[in-house]
Amino acid sequence: METTRTDRFKTAILLIAATGLIAGLVFYFSGRPEAANLIWIAGVVPALAALVVEILRSLRSGEVGLDIVAALSMSAALVFGETLAAAVVAVMYSGGTFLEAFAEGRARREMHDLLSRVPRTATRHRNGGLEEIPLDHIAPGDRLLIRQGDVVPVDGTVASETAFVDTSALTGESLPVRLAHGAEAMSGSTNAGEAFDLTATREAKDSTYAGIVRLVEEAQASKAPMSRLADRWSLGFLAVTVSMAFAAWWFTGDPIRAVAVLVVATPCPLILAVPVALVAGLSRAAHFGVLIKGAGPLETMARIRTLILDKTGTLTDGRPQIVSIDSHDGMAEDDILRLAAALDQASKHPVAQAIVAAAKARGFTLPVPSDVAEIPGEGVVGHVEGRKVIVGGDAFVASRVGRRPGDHSAIAAGSVLVAVAVDGRMAGHLVMSDPLRDGAGAMLDGLRGEGIARILLATGDRADVAERVTEGLGLDGLRAGLTPDQKVLLVLTERKNGPVMMVGDGVNDAPALAAADVGVAMGARGAAASAEAADVVLLVDRIDRLGPGIEIARGARRIAVESVVAGIGLSVMGMIAAAFGYLTPVQGALLQEVIDVAVILNALRALRIAPHEPTIPKPKAVSSGQDDIAQGATP
């Protein structure tokens, strides 16, 4: 509301100044110069008064900017009888502030789109019917109806057979994504297919989209170091402007030259270009699923030299996937998986949930287990369709069926072996592992091309597991067995080589993310603690989005610097020409407005930055149907 009132006030001031300028010109060319002067003064005074009030507010908050030059130029023009020049400056200055506000609004479009998509209500199944409820009334476990075109209100899992959702507003993915039964659906995505049911897993305030909204609001209120530096530079520019105007008056005795110098310096592209370019970069990054919490992190992101990656959930998928199914008693692999998954429905263990997800991805209908007993850290025992099933570690299951554990030394480091017994006999084993994310190698190569000098892996896992997973990636260093405190120490040590970026997804990564110059959290599934501590949140569960984010940050910063250098250079040249009498005050005002418009339009180029989109290879087919499992686990 406050922003709307401010924009309306700026529009009114611009209309008054423009009307005064045009009306004065009409009277001037009608042979009534005295009336024209009065009308021009009447058009300038409101703009000058508003400017003086703004300057006083800035001074009270300890900020000094080039608005003072605009006030000096209008005041000097009125004092020395250059009323037409004063009117032109009033129109140009009020027009410049209006254009700046319009450009920033244009630059924030993607962020406004995110905020405007917040749903207010949801449709819940209750007692065989449907009821419309406020978002705050949704509780985990509620079954919601998501109609075609509806925005998913909370994080949840698909309760229908399939769902098609459009995540383009969040992640930049242009095509709808197919989600199978039990797959996770991100709040803020749109139902692009038939209506489906969703089982809520979080309250609205704790869901992904609510967190995104909070982060966007923080980003909009931020100010970049480069913007603060521009404010400091503006003091120097102000001193140069006043000195040059005074010198032109002193050595020539012509005050009009001083007025012309002041007019050419109003307003400064230094102030206009930086916020427009950086906010445009924020919006562009959000379009590609990279939410940067402000212009400050974006600017720092553009200067990153060292990248530190966590392993589990960041460089790897973070969810165990089935590599192979070994049958020992002639039982079909599908039957082993189906019975194991049916029993594991009663367990919340991550490995058990991964087995359930893999079975559902294959389209299996899982019966409800009975007489279930879970031995924490060991396994689960129960009955499925009248058959006694045991699922757990190899030693645990082997002891339950009266046999010795087998020799599984050939299994790769870091793999998880799950044994399955049916009716007192060992039925088979599920071999599971946490694989490297698809396209991780290409992503790291792309980051090196963007100027990242060092890429390190920091993990709490064993060294042999980390080395196996990252083999062939060409990392500059691998630090294994680290505690959260040791990760922080690694970040602080690497900062001597330049700005450091840390990427992680778990609670244990939060201290390191906060210690890094730029912390990046995997926000789609990452822990809330890591998302809060991070400066950047990847809205989609794909680390390859990091490359486009850095590319956009560097492009936006480069455009901001180009705009400042070009704008200041042209302004100084114009001031020199005015000091030597080659520009009148009116000509100087028109020249400066041309410079300002060019600078703003150049800064808006950041909205058209087209980062290189990494190509993600399709997963290789394996005998256990891993393609289907992977697709089901990672929509």
Q: Which homologous superfamily is 321-433 in?
A: Calcium-transporting ATPase, cytoplasmic domain N (3.40.1110.10)
Q: Which homologous superfamily is 295-317+437-553 in?
A: HAD superfamily/HAD-like (3.40.50.1000)
Of 618 and 535, the structure prediction assigns the larger pLDDT to 535
> What whole-number distance in Å separates Cα of residue 494 and Cα of residue 511?
15
The pLDDT of residue 617: 44
Kindly write down the DSSP assignment for every residue of 565-598, as one continuous string.
HHHHHHHHHHHHHHHTTSS-HHHHHHHHHHHHHH
> What whole-number distance in Å separates Cα of residue 243 and Cα of residue 263?
14
Q: Decide if 394 contacts 405 (C-beta within 8 A).
A: yes
For residue 371, what is the DSSP state? E
The per-residue pLDDT for range 183-237, each reduced to its tens digit, is 888 887 888 888 999 999 888 877 766 666 665 555 555 544 555 555 556 667 7
Q: Is 45 helix (H, G, I), strand (E, B) or coil?
A: helix
Q: Decide if 420 contacts 328 (C-beta within 8 A).
A: no
Residue 588: name the closest of 267, 261, 269 by CA. 261
> What whole-number distance in Å separates Cα of residue 468 and Cα of residue 486?
22
Half-sphere CA count of 175, side-chain side, radius 13 A: 4
> What whole-number distance in Å separates Cα of residue 95 and Cα of residue 11?
8
Half-sphere CA count of 74, side-chain side, radius 13 A: 28
The pLDDT of residue 16: 92
Radius of gyration of the chain (CA): 32
83, 84, 85, 86: CA torsion to nearest 10: 50
The per-residue pLDDT for range 81-113, each reduced to its tens digit, is 888 888 888 887 787 677 666 655 655 555 555
> What whole-number distance in Å separates Cα of residue 161 and Cα of residue 474?
42
Of 540 and 372, the structure prediction assigns the larger pLDDT to 372
CATH of domain 139-202: 2.70.150.10
Percent of the chain with pLDDT over 70: 80
The per-residue pLDDT for range 285-331, each reduced to its tens digit, is 888 888 887 778 888 899 999 999 887 767 777 667 788 888 887 88
The pLDDT of residue 267: 57
pLDDT band for position 337 (50/70/90)? very high
The H-assigned helical ranges of 345-417 are 350-361, 394-400
Kindly write down the DSSP assignment for every residue of 153-190, as one continuous string.
-S-EEE-SSEEEEE-HHHH---S-EEEETT-EE-TT-E
Q: Is 300 helix (H, G, I), strand (E, B) or coil?
A: helix
The per-residue pLDDT for range 580-625, each reduced to its tens digit, is 999 988 888 888 878 888 888 888 888 888 887 655 444 333 333 3
Please list the active-site residues.
310
The pLDDT of residue 620: 36
The H-assigned helical ranges of 269-377 are 269-287, 295-301, 333-344, 350-361
443-446 own/partner pairs: CB under 8 Å, 24+ apart: 443/543, 443/544, 443/546, 443/547, 443/614, 444/473, 444/474, 444/475, 446/547, 446/612, 446/614
pTM over 0.85: no
For the chain, the domains span 139-202, 295-317+437-553, 321-433
Q: Which amino acid is at 362?
A: R
Q: E-strand spans in 2-126? A: 121-126
pLDDT band for position 500 (50/70/90)? very high
The pLDDT of residue 578: 92
